[in-house]
Chains A and B, each alone.
Chain A
Amino acid sequence: MGRAFRIYLAGESVLICRQCGNHLAVSEGVMSKQFTGQHGRALLVQQVVNTYTGDAEDRDMRTGRHTVRDVFCRVCHTTLGWKYDFAFEHDQKYKEGKFILEREMITEKPESKRDLGRPRIEEVPVRELLARV
């Protein structure tokens, strides 16, 4: 397979895995925040990266029957949510191919101050580092 890099994202804010910090999606890709998952609030997002999916299964949900797959973090293998493969109800078709990320499993990393000039490298004071250890 060779060595593939993980994907790094940049957006208004980046949704990362709460467990390992793996980049998953950007906030621009969030379609709805009104979803509910197994652990409470969840997001419907258009695309996720650095994940893999499990086997397809049919689940009966509040909005009807769907064929879904669980979505796992590729780095720490946590279950993050699921992916909609197929919606049985016609008015739920828009979810097909989209992903649910559970709020509980992710955090949001806001974009740092934007500096369009040349990036600067700063040295971290060693004392601060040692205090952290």
Chain B
Amino acid sequence: MGHPLRHNGSHPSNGSAGEAGPSNGHSLGISTVTPGSLPPHILGAIRPVQPPGNLMYEDDRDWYHEPESHEDGIESTDDGDMDEDDGEAKHNKHRAMDRPGVGGGKRMPVEREEAVRLMLQGLRDIGYHQAADVLEAESGFHLSTAAASDFQAAILGGRWSEALALLPELGIPTASNTVEPESSSSSIASGKTKATMMGKGSGSVTDQARFLIAQQKYLEYLEVGQQKKALGVLRGELARVAKDQDVLHTLSGFMMCLDKDDLYERAVWDGASGASRRQLLEHLQAFISPSVMVPSRRLATLFDQARRHQQMTCLYHEEPDSSSLYVDHRCESGQFPSVTTHVLADHTDEVWRIEWSPDGMQLASAGKDKTVVIWQLKASPKEGGGTQYNVESLHQLRDHSDPVDAMAWSPDGKTLVTAADKTVYVWNTKTGTQRPRPSAGSQHGDTISAIQWLPDGSEFIVASMDCKVVFYSAAGNMLRQWTAFPLQLNDFVITPDGKRIVAITTPLKRVNHNDRLKQAMSARPSDDSETIGPAPVVLGPNGGPMQPFQYATMEHSIAVIRIVDHEIIDWSQDLRCETTSIRMSSDGRKVLVSCTPDEIQVWSIDPGLRYLRKHTGHVQGHFLIRSCFGAPKDRFILSGSEDGHVYVWQGGSPNPIEVLSGHRDVVNSVAWNPVAARRIFASCSDDTTIRIWQPPINVEGGMDIATSAEIVEESEGMVL
């Protein structure tokens, strides 16, 4: 029965879209005076249709679990009606009809009136006023009541008395009947804080609405320089409804503004021709029932929410590009670097640590064989577009006295600082030669735990297990030294602004236990002969029972240290687990902390230290395992694991989305290439190899499988 109307509605509206255009810019979303309206005689010819039921599908339940016994036969007539109704809405709602509800459940029915009114708003916002008129006529639903439309027009047109007169019709009573006690004063100086004020419920609804309107009126008078009239508003209207003297005081202060721009700035308000009237309308919306006046841009908001939700739940999401609403957004897993393209086997013993140079074209690897290898990434264009990277060994830095576990690239990539036990080495990465070490003798009385450069490249900072933090110039001269005793810095990072150190720390002190100070230790559970833990009660030399001897575990926490005055400005509670590594996110707002046993924690550091979430699934019990963020936008979290796999997590999900196999022994560290678009990461292992991971070749470049197999073979051959 809807057929003739649909023709009527959709086709002519195309022609008049341009006509409706100009009105858009001014009052998108709430224009009710519609230039593109159909003549009354055409509208009159439209038959109102009132099919029963809401926007829902009785057979939805088939899509996910056993259909409940339901009288399908009876409902099916309804179904037919629904389909016709949807025909009109296809333009906007197509996506939602393609699939079962989010999460595999049944779609919730949408009330007919809501669906129609949202569509009406969408149509009007997009400029199809004729179609909207037809829909209003056919459905009998209106986007807003006549009063609401007039009210919107009055606010947008600056006709304040008309707007005030319409308030009762919008459900806001004329007189304030409830006078609440005065709310705590707050300095409300700007349009921005209007919303806060409303939230506080100072005064009755009427007073608040009237206040908002009067405030706009007052500011507009000031804007055009009519101080007298503005004063009249202030005394006559604002004073009556404002519940807060401070607000009035602030508002009256705007009288003193030198000119318009001064007023805009001080009132944080953009004038009558700006967005302020629209904002006022949005603030007033809070007092008006949505059944009277649909909140503006509601349909667009819902679409946006849908899009965001899909991106949030997209497992491999990388780009925030505009996704189509026709289909659910989903990034292909094929783009994830899940394939080993190179196995680098120059090391002769366990590889403990890998670090990319800042430009991501070189990789340094270090380990138990006392050697650091610098690898060069070589980009080669691929058949069928894209880039394939090859890896070659560039330098072997050999003169280390002990196994190497800490190293850091200078921000310009020209220098690599490494540390073996208590000694710092500074290397020229271009020549692979060691720079002379001016500081004779080591400043460090114990193993060096971590090295980091200041972001400006002027200094590097070295922390050692004897609770020392030493600052060196880029050339390697000692500049300053801190003693943090009893605080041991196990690992640390520096914020991108170069002002703070975020460290995982262990205070070397006895712990309180049952009101007794107890001897304590900080350690990873060890797999050799040391016996740690409760000892059996044995007889002492005198024959009496001896106290069982047991160590308590020391506290482990995150500390934020301001570099300029070495003050600890933030401090987490005891993490109740051993911490092994810390990494900073690329935006400098989050840190990733690897913990024993089997846990990775994410903390935000701005504005204060705050625990966000944890990720589990990997194995970390005995060794120093490192994790990293994976770009872009740090959506991925990767970690090594003692079971020889690389674990990958995404977003807020605690469980891994990928477990990548290849290494034959403990994976000690992972590192994502700093150039996010390259989609490369590296992992290193006790099996003495480093693996380079890239997206599957045949998927990315459209190569056939034979070619890609060849390349893998080639690359393996190169290094072995």
Contacts and interface: CB of A to CB of B under 8 A. Distances in A.
A47 B528 CA distance: 14
Contacts of B445: 21
A8 B487 CA distance: 12
B549 A121 contact: no
Contacts of A6: 447, 465, 523
Nearest to B554: A10
Contacts of B441: 133
B530 interface: yes
A32 B566 contact: no
Contacts of A51: 530
A26 to B, nearest CB: 4
B204 interface: no
Contact of A2 (B465, B481, B546, B686): B686
Most B CB atoms within 10 A — which of A6, A10, A52, A129?
A: A10
Interface in B433-485: 439-441, 443, 445-447, 465-466, 469, 478-485
A48 interface: yes
Contacts of B484: 119, 121-122
A84 B424 CA distance: 40
Most chain B CB neighbours (cut-off 10 Å) among A48, A123, A126:
A123
B508 A46 contact: no
A29 to B, nearest CB: 5
Nearest to B487: A119
A123 B470 CA distance: 10
A104 B65 CA distance: 76
Of A5, A46, A49, most B-chain CB atoms within 10 Å: A5
A11 B523 CA distance: 15
A29 B547 CA distance: 10
Contacts of A48: 530
Given A47-B532, A119-B484, A7 B521 contact: yes
Nearest to A96: B538
Interface string B576-604: 00001000000000000000000000000
Interface stretch (B33-41, B262-270, B619-627): B619-627
Nearest to B468: A124
Size class of B's contact patch? Answer: 35 or more
B523 A2 contact: no
A49 B530 CA distance: 6
A55 interface: no
Interface in B525-550: 526, 528-532, 535, 538-541, 546, 549
Contact of A10 (B481, B521, B530): B521
Nearest to A51: B530
Consensus secondary structure, chain B interface: loop
A114 B539 contact: no
B481 A126 contact: yes
A21 B446 contact: yes
A31 B530 contact: no
B623 A114 contact: no
Given A1-B350, A5-B624, A47 B440 contact: no
Contacts of B668: 2-3
Contacts of A10: 486, 508-511, 519-521, 554
Interface in A106-132: 111-112, 114, 118-124, 126, 129
A61 interface: no
B245 to A, nearest CB: 43
B465 A121 contact: no
Nearest to A94: B539
B566 A122 contact: yes
Contacts of B614: none
Interface in B364-391: none
B561 interface: yes
| B446, B519, B538, B622, most chain A CB atoms within 10 A | B519
A97 interface: yes
Interface string A71-103: 000000000000000000000011001000000
B418 to A, nearest CB: 15
Contact of B488 (A8, A49, A120): A8
A112 B486 contact: yes
Nearest to A25: B519
B551 interface: yes
A121 B510 contact: no
A36 interface: no
A133 to B, nearest CB: 5
B507 A28 contact: no
Contacts of A123: 480-482, 566
B667 to A, nearest CB: 9
A2 B622 contact: yes
Given A119-B487, A121-B568, A129 B443 contact: yes
A1 B275 CA distance: 64
A28 B519 contact: yes
B529 A52 contact: yes
A121 B471 CA distance: 14
B627 to A, nearest CB: 14
Nearest to A92: B541
B660 to A, nearest CB: 18
A2 B623 CA distance: 6
A3 B624 contact: yes
Interface string A35-75: 00000000000111101110000000000000000000000
Contact of B485 (A2, A29, A49, A112): A112
Nearest to A130: B478
B642 interface: yes
B532 A119 contact: no
B356 interface: no
A52 B551 CA distance: 19
Nearest to B349: A1
A13 B511 CA distance: 14
B571 interface: yes
B508 A8 contact: yes
B568 A119 contact: yes
B650 interface: no
16 contacts: A2-B622, A2-B625, A2-B686, A3-B668, A5-B522, A7-B521, A8-B488, A8-B523, A9-B521, A10-B510, A12-B510, A29-B519, A49-B523, A51-B530, A94-B540, A121-B567
Given A52-B528, A126-B481, 11 more contacts: A1-B350, A21-B445, A28-B549, A47-B532, A47-B551, A49-B532, A119-B505, A121-B568, A122-B566, A124-B480, A124-B481
Please list the 9 inter-chain residue pairs (A to B) with the smallest Cβ-Cβ separation, ordered nearest first.
A2-B623, A7-B523, A11-B519, A3-B624, A119-B487, A46-B549, A26-B519, A121-B566, A2-B666
